[in-house]
Amino acid sequence: MNRDVQRQRLGAAAEATASFRRALVEQNADGILDFAAQITGVIGSGGKVLLLGNGPLAAVASLMAGAMVVRFSREQQRAPLPAIALCADPAVMTLAADESGYEYLFNRQVEALGHKGDLIICFSVSGNTPNLIRAAATARELGLISSAFVGNATGKLTSSVDRALVVPASDPQRVVEEQLFLAHLILEQIEHDLFA
């Protein structure tokens, strides 16, 4: 393939992403701000944030937890925020999957680490991930607040949580990219709200 054609494809992909992100933020600005306010409210009340995801979204959940515990902005020197990625401990996850089945992968961790008033955040492309739906149900039973990033507004997870941010894309890679982008926007807002 000719280099000029390749450059055009890259430029078109970058423009499509920029256009999609502008529309996503414009259509969901209040939801993004509400999501960030929910997190700061939980932390301000002495609660913690539990983050869950599968596959590439496990990495997004871990990145968000890491940015909360350490920091998001290099310019920001601040206290750590209480956050745990429940998808980051392979020994616990594989034992839970072996003992209870993959559908219950996160339940024991939610039971062990979650307390009334804490927040669980699930990341899902389909919105129909059984282990996330079960974890959200367990969280609700224990009095936790629940939120999700989903790629499908009609998925079961959307109705299983208190708040959902939907990335309206059919391409799984786009959903993952935009959930990471939304997580970054929310992290920036949290640091501004708590430490500016």
Residue 54 CB partners (closer than 8 Å, separation 6+)? 87, 124, 129, 131, 132
Residue labelled with tokens 């839970």 = 96
Do the Cβ atoms of 54 and 131 come closer than 8 Å?
Answer: yes
Q: Residue 152 has what pLDDT?
A: 82
Q: Which domains does the chain have, with CATH numbers?
A: 30-195 (3.40.50.10490)
pTM of the predicted model over 0.85: yes
Q: Rounded distance, CA 100 to CA 50, Å?
A: 20
Q: Residue 154 has what pLDDT?
A: 86
- pLDDT tens for residues 116-164? 999 999 999 999 999 999 999 999 999 999 999 999 888 999 999 999 9
Has residue 179 got a pLDDT over 80? yes
Residue type, position 65, single letter? A
- Give the number of C-alpha atoms closer than 13 A to the C-alpha of residue 36, restricted to the C-beta side: 18
Under the banding of pLDDT at 50, 70 and 90, the label for residue 73 is confident
Pairing status of strand 83-85 against strand 145-150? unpaired
Has residue 111 got a pLDDT over 90? yes
In three-state secondary structure terms, 113 is helix
Mean pLDDT across 6-13: 93
Has residue 196 got a pLDDT over 90? no
Do the Cβ atoms of 35 and 186 come closer than 8 Å?
Answer: yes
Q: What are phi and psi of 76, to 5 degrees?
A: -95, 115
What DSSP character marks residue 46?
T
